[in-house]
Chains A and B, each alone.
Chain A
Amino acid sequence: MKKLRLIAGVLVLGLGAAACGGAKVDDNSSAAPSANASAGAAAAGSAGTVKMAINAWVGYEASAAVVDYLLENELHYKVEKVTLNEEPSWQGMESGDVDVVLENWGHDDLKKKYIEEKGVAVEAGPNGNNGVIGWYVPEWMVQKYPDITDYKNLNKYADLFKTSESDGKGQLLDGDPSFVTNDEALVKNLKLDYKVVYAGSEAALIKAAEQATDQQKPLLMYFYEPQWLFSKLKLVKINLPPYTAGCDADPKKVACDYPAYPLDKIVSKKFADAGGPAYELVKNFKWTNDDQNKVADDITNNGLSDEAAAKKWVEANPTIWQAWIPK
């Protein structure tokens, strides 16, 4: 009975917090950075809370680690990391669960929906990283089968890429189902005798690439830059029909290569409007693929925690990050 009263009280509180004209999704009080600062009792003297989406590849984590480190140690914010896939991160800007996406890969459809139509997100400029997506084979395969880099010859070699999971066709290994990919449409529209098989994660792709290189096993996989792995082993990109503006407009009819992705930052409208040093820092954040790869490599291969890797980079590159700190 007591519990009943408690929940009734909670509901009344909730109702009271909202305007009497019904509740809109962004009325959630915890969405406001200021309200959250008081909730986090541990963060005494904190300048506020920044909710940062963390997408599941280590390059993103590297960027997030450095921005997190600077926000906490230089600007004294509390950073809440929200581990999410790319598209739900955008939804998080609507629901108030996400303030910042640090590495956005294109997503023009989402920009249209959440920036133009709903007005819950805004762009915060490029982060300096240049994204490439494509199909790759280990270098030894190119030496053995020189013409394999042309997509037109892929059917000739399909037998090489057969696995137990590929239904008797060649296997095209993709990553996490949430990554940006046109691969199923590409296979279909380019009439390739391949099946897209999802490895499930970036780490699984990397493991496959390492095995394919060490044991000379054939492998065709979806991969991308910036990526620390390219400093450890050689992968060669397959040439797909060149990208032309608009050729990927209909996701089901794509028959061309991926575009170049100048990666950019997206922040929630609320976060941008609130302004403040945190927003300024996110807006100013800009570094190179090499910077990101260095931090990502430390996190993945040198056993450093995100925080330690960020600290190492920050201490080594003061001139770069000092330019991001708002005056």
Chain B
Amino acid sequence: MVAAPADIAPPVPVAERAQRLARWLPAAGAVLVVALYVAFKNTAVLPHDDDASLFHWLNDARDWVDENRNTSPFFLYFVNYVRLGVAELFTLFQTALTALGWPGLIGVAAGLGWLAGGWRIALVSVVGFAGIGALGLWDASVDTLALTLSSVLLSLVIGIPIGILTGRSPRVRRIVSPVLDVMQIMPTFSYLSPIVLLFLIGPASATIATMIYAIPPAIRITALAIQRVPPTAVEASESLGATGGQTLRKVRLPMALNTITLGVNQTIAAALSMVPLVALIAAPGLGVDLIRALARVNVGAALVPGIAIVIIAIVLDRITRSAAVSRARSSAVRWAGFAVAIVAGLALTPVLAPEFPEQWQIQIIRPINDVVGWIEANWYGFTGFLNDTVAYGLLNPLQDVLTSAPWWLITIAVLGFAWRFSGLRAGLVAAGCLVAIAALSLWEHGMETLTIVLVASVITIAVGLALGIAAARSRWFAAVLRPILDAAQTMPSFSYLLPAVALFGNGRFTAIIASLIYAVPVVARLVEDGVRAVPGTVVEAARSAGSTDRQLLWKVQLPMAKSSLLLAANQGIVMTLAMVVIGALVGAGALGYDVVAGIAQQEDYGKGLAAGVALVLLGVMLDRITQGASGRPNSKKKRIA
């Protein structure tokens, strides 16, 4: 990037000199930043002010909305209808699922399983749903299922058409793609406040919030499926004189159907991971049990709804996944089995008790709590030591630096770092995000959140790296690790707070531990896949050249897996941010706390709304800085420092 002018006639060749300069530039930049920090420490620090005029302005805006909710035409003829329609949809699902009764619902699930994938999937459905009943959470699970289904339905109804458009028109893709990027980076917490403002609390808001989280995979995968339809098939159809609509219905959609079904699968998974969180805005379901367990610091009581959500996720996943794989079986047999299962279930509904029988329920809360109690009592010294080490050794010093440095210095440092790492455009976006956070009057809290995210990311990536490498090198270890990571990935992020709280008390370290459990599975998996993808011949060659295991790892496998490793880092950081924000529920403070308080306290509404935006900006910034890694089409090149 820095080319020496040719007329100086350097003693060393130009290219070499530029290379040397490029090598020294980052170091020089770092030294300069440190020097500037020492010189300008405690100037231009933007301390937090709860009274910022922006917050008051947002509060006033909220008051206006509150007063005009029943008079402004925008609300009367649009927003309120949306709310009403979505609420009706949810009620419809809820009423239908409740009316089926538990035997009926199990029967329907079995029928769908049979239809999609034969007796194995039917069995998974029956065992899974019966298991939910046995956990004693039938009613809450039905509510969660209704919420999931209604938001998935909305996601598909809106997402598939957008996906089709996106798949067919590059121009639409250019607009939609960055929007989806931001939607996927946004911490789920950040958009609860604006939704509540528009649609009030309740199932309607909850469905819409879940939809926002679940719609990106629906759009992306539909677009991908449409793009992948072979152009020859489309041409053949058009040359036979089919209209655009006919080609879409008869050629593109049928050929893309299996991939789109996978999109449905991903949409359901996303919806299920959001559903517990919307309990904060008065949605019924398993999330309510999670929040109550959190309020009572009852680990066992939090784990049970977590397991129920995992079961629902597994059942829905298996059904949709096998529906996506086309198979040859006579349709008469399939439909007959489907009908038999449903009729059997429905026939049993009036016979058996309307409530899931209590004697079939198993109690697992107490044993779990006994274990936790024992750990709490006996490991107190150790957990306290860990907490204090991380807090005094890492969090506090880093936070001191970030909050005492001038805002312009941090912005410049981020610009330089992101430029070097991911290119000028990414650098400018990242710096722009920081400036915007400052403009939102949330600089100090933003830096506090950033501190936690940075520390948590470093720990997460280190642990993920270690686990991933170990799994890649030992089949035995991988076989043990995989199911654990699978389960950890499906559990609602929310339920990780509790074991962390029980062990480490409330505070930032607890949020770090929770984000560790949440993000490590993804990081470890990406690392493992990356290392495994190194061609066997290369490994053989290195070995025959006499490299030790250690050399093989550091000189061959890791460098060759670089792009996966960097993608892992990118994903790890974005997921960590999402979790650290939720950590505000257990005392991690900063921006996440502002959002929680904004939902809970009237006078903090404006601050909460601004904090939600600041979180999105922080997410975009972190993503852009590490995006050189992610290999997305919009990052120019994989240019890595």
Contact = CB atoms under 8 A, between A and B. Distances in A.
Contact of A7 (B89, B200, B506, B597): B89
B396 interface: yes
B272 interface: no
B297 A88 contact: no
B388 interface: yes
Contacts of A83: 279, 282, 288, 291-292
B296 A58 contact: yes
Contact of B282 (A29, A84, A199): A84
A30 interface: yes
Given A25-B200, A197-B589, A164 B295 contact: no
B69 A25 contact: yes
A45 interface: no
Contact of A95 (B94, B202, B387, B501): B202
Interface residues of B, number: 70
Contacts of B157: 3-4, 7
Interface stretch (A35-43, A133-141, A260-268, A318-326): A35-43
B95 A39 contact: yes
Given A25-B83, A41-B95, A83-B279, A164 B507 contact: yes
Given A87-B601, A88-B281, A164-B391, A15 B81 contact: yes
A156 interface: no
Interface stretch (A122-130, A176-184, A222-230, A240-248): A176-184
B291 A56 contact: yes
Nearest to A41: B99
B600 A86 contact: yes
A12 B128 CA distance: 36
A198 B201 contact: no
A252 interface: yes
A198 B596 CA distance: 11
A178 B281 CA distance: 13
Contacts of B95: 39, 41
A53 to B, nearest CB: 9
A204 B586 contact: yes
Contacts of B77: 22-23
Interface in B578-607: 584-587, 589, 593, 596-597, 599-603
Contacts of A252: 50-51
A201 B201 contact: no
A92 B391 contact: no
Interface residues of A, number: 63
Interface in A6-50: 6-7, 10-11, 13-15, 17-18, 21-25, 27-30, 39-42
A166 to B, nearest CB: 10
A92 B201 contact: yes
Contacts of B603: 251
A274 interface: no
Contacts of B69: 24-25
Given A14-B81, A178-B601, A201 B508 contact: no
Contacts, number: 184
Nearest to B583: A200
A82 interface: yes
> SS class of chain B's interface: helix, strand, loop or mixed?
helix
A327 interface: no
A68 interface: no
Given A7-B89, A25-B70, A200 B586 contact: yes
B84 interface: yes
Given A3-B157, A177-B600, A204-B501, A21 B76 contact: yes
B602 A30 contact: no
Contact of A165 (B85, B292, B507, B602): B507
B156 interface: yes
B549 interface: no
A289 to B, nearest CB: 21
A197 B587 contact: yes
B291 to A, nearest CB: 6
Contact of A203 (B153, B295, B508, B585): B295
Q: Chain A CB within 10 Å — which of B585, B600, B603 has the most?
A: B600
A11 B297 CA distance: 41
B354 interface: yes
Given A7-B153, A56-B291, A58-B296, A177 B87 contact: no
Contacts of B83: 23, 25, 28
A165 B84 contact: no
Interface string B286-329: 00100110111110000000000000000000000000000000
A3 B601 contact: no
A197 B589 CA distance: 8
Interface in B536-590: 584-587, 589
A4 to B, nearest CB: 6
A91 interface: yes
Given A11-B85, A165-B508, A92 B282 contact: yes
B392 interface: yes
Interface of A: 3-4, 6-7, 10-11, 13-15, 17-18, 21-25, 27-30, 39-42, 56-58, 80, 82-88, 91-92, 94-97, 109-110, 113, 164-165, 176-178, 184, 197-204, 207-208, 251-252, 300
17 contacts: A7-B153, A10-B85, A10-B92, A23-B76, A23-B84, A39-B95, A42-B355, A88-B281, A95-B200, A164-B509, A177-B597, A198-B587, A198-B589, A199-B587, A201-B295, A202-B296, A204-B505
Given A14-B87, A95-B202, A204-B297, 13 more contacts: A3-B156, A14-B85, A15-B85, A17-B88, A18-B80, A23-B80, A56-B291, A87-B601, A165-B587, A177-B584, A199-B587, A204-B586, A204-B587
Closest 8 CB pairs of A and B: A22-B76, A178-B600, A164-B391, A23-B80, A203-B297, A95-B200, A14-B85, A56-B295
